[in-house]
Amino acid sequence: MYVRTVGGKETTFGVSGALWRDALVMYDRDSGTYWSQVNATGISGEHTGDVLTELPSIVTTWGEWKTLHPETLVLEKPALEGSPFDRYFASAEAMGASGHGASDNRLPGKDLVVGVRAGGATAAVPLKKLRVKGVITGMVGDTPVVWLSLSDPGAAAYDRRLDNQVIELQRQADGSYTAPGSAFDPTTGAFTSGPLAGQSLQRLPAMRVYWYSWTSFHPETGLVGATE
């Protein structure tokens, strides 16, 4: 999710039909610049080299979202029968239009990861491992980060620093999240009870993406939580 302001002007975006590094390329209707979906960078046109502002977002269930935001607005689109990409999603070998496959063998190329960019560095966690553990912590450059599992297939990432201390979060047996003595809401980042009540961790933009695609854009990425 990105802010749709380019060069100080509000605009709208469309799908160009092109691919770059086997990922969707979008264009803005004001300048016609082509933008990478994955790293939000202008790759052709007036704003080549510019970067869109990324916003934290949630992949979650409709039921959970309605509970959190009962007055939400909905973008309603025509219902489709299945997806033309079903076979692609189901195939472990199909990796993009070029078929070049994964360049980093630390994970299978079609494994989903949750990637984070912070302070000029990048790191990702395997989504399957996050589902099992609930909480995975690691460093993205100099930033201490915690990845949290949300409603399938969601995830969130937070900067663990709060008032000169690094917060340790745990998932309880009932699926709730806590820090020592305080309850934590993983969808908002707020502590809702205990000594930390009223304070919040900073939500970080996190991208749920195939490993082969993430490493294509971020070949120096860290990989957190893949092994014990």
Question: What CATH number does the domain containing 161 carry?
Answer: 2.102.10.10
Summarised one tens digit per residue, pLDDT across range 129-157 is 999 999 999 999 999 999 999 877 789 99
Residue-range definition of the domain harbouring residue 132: 112-223
Q: Is the pLDDT of residue 25 over 80?
A: yes
> How do residues 172-211 score in pLDDT, each as one tens digit?
998 899 998 999 999 889 999 999 999 999 999 899 999 9
What pLDDT, on a 0 to 100 scale, did the predictor assign at position 187?
A: 86
Residue 87 lies in a domain: no
SS3 68: helix
Strand partners, 193: 183
pLDDT in tens, 37-66: 998 999 999 999 999 998 888 777 888 888
> How many angstroms separate the CA atoms of 76 and 128, rounded?
30
Residue 136 within a domain:
yes
Q: Are residues 116 and 219 in the same domain?
A: yes
Question: Is the residue at 84 inside a domain?
Answer: no
Q: Are residue 39 and residue 121 in the same domain, yes or no? A: no
What pLDDT does residue 101 have? 67
209/127 same-domain check: yes
Residue 129 forms part of a structural domain: yes
Q: How many domains are contained in the chain?
A: 2
Global pTM reads 0.84
User: What does pLDDT average to over the chain?
Assistant: 90
Q: How much is the pLDDT for 59? A: 77
Q: Within a domain: residue 95?
A: no
Measuring CA to CA, how many Å separate 206 from each of 58, 149, 166, 209? 9, 12, 20, 9
Whether 105 is in a domain gets the answer no
- 91, part of any domain: no
The answer to whether position 179 is within a domain reads yes
